[in-house]
Amino acid sequence: MYAYTRRYTGPVQAVILDWAGTTVDFGSLAPIHAFTRLFTAEGVPITEAEARKPMGSEKREHVRLICEMPRVAESWKARFGSIPGSADVDRLYEKLIPLQVESIRERATLIPGMAEFAAWAGKRGIGLGGNTGYATEMVPELLQLAAKQGYAPGSNVCATEVPKARPWPHMSLRNAMELGVSNLAACIKVDDTPTGIEEGLNAGMWTIGVAISGNQVGLDLPQWQALSINEQAEKRAAATDIMARSGAHYVIDSVADIIPVIEEIERRLAKGEHPAG
């Protein structure tokens, strides 16, 4: 009996990155601001922790998951006489869109190191793709603002553009196709949420979790820098543990730390190692 083994041993061809908390919006605050404003306007305020729990999800699904939280559902029932239904979710999602567009605009600054990484990747011939839980109509201005700062992905896919969003692999697979990737082992998915890491794993890609600049810490850059060394270490350890437990092959503080990891992945590929082992 014989078994044929075929393994990709070439360079990294593409890096696919999430948006909020990974490439822009240090602290991943744009979605939080939009959701807290949305529910406050309904007379059913939610906490930041409640807004963050479904992060990474397609935004209508995000609305639905918040509405299903027991405390939120009970508060909604006390306000409106019944728990939120599908019609409420649809109405809330429509109200969310302009709020989300506004908060994206407010939080569109590239995370430090992203422009430098984009330039480095371009020189290496590595394609860059973006994907997001944001809907298509939420991102045109974000793409323009990011490009002005030095990041213009060759492919961008929104959750509303595929049959199933995260943790299904559809967005990353579409990114890979649009970037002309020849082998999924040559791709890396970078994300600040466990569901985004699961997306990359389901797509058969290497994965890099982001611990500090994204959803797991949830502080903007000045707030993070204002913490003591001990406070930073405590939050880093907790966030790193969450992302490592999600299955990420590597965990970094932010995109500023990504280049050495890509170089390490290329060394592993050259030795015949693959994302699945």
> Binding site annotation covers 241?
no
Residue of 59, 189, 253, 257 marked active site: 59
What is the rounded CA–CA span in Å between residue 154 and residue 102? Answer: 24
Nearest C-alpha neighbor of 187 from the set 173, 198, 171, 167:
173
59 counts as catalytic: yes
> Binding site annotation covers 257?
no
Helix (H, G, I), strand (E, B) or coil at 231: helix
What is the rounded CA–CA span in Å between residue 117 and residue 120? Answer: 5
Residue type, 189: K
> Binding site annotation covers 253?
no
Residue of 18, 25, 253, 257 marked active site: 18
148 counts as catalytic: no
What DSSP letter does each residue of 103-169 carry, written as one string?
HHHHT-PBPTTHHHHHHHHHHHT-EEEEEESS-GGGSHHHHHHHHHTT---SEEEEGGGSSS-TTSS
Annotated binding residues for Mg(2+), written as ranges, equal: 18, 20, 192
Catalytic residue positions? 18, 59
Annotated binding residues, written as ranges, equal: 18, 20, 192
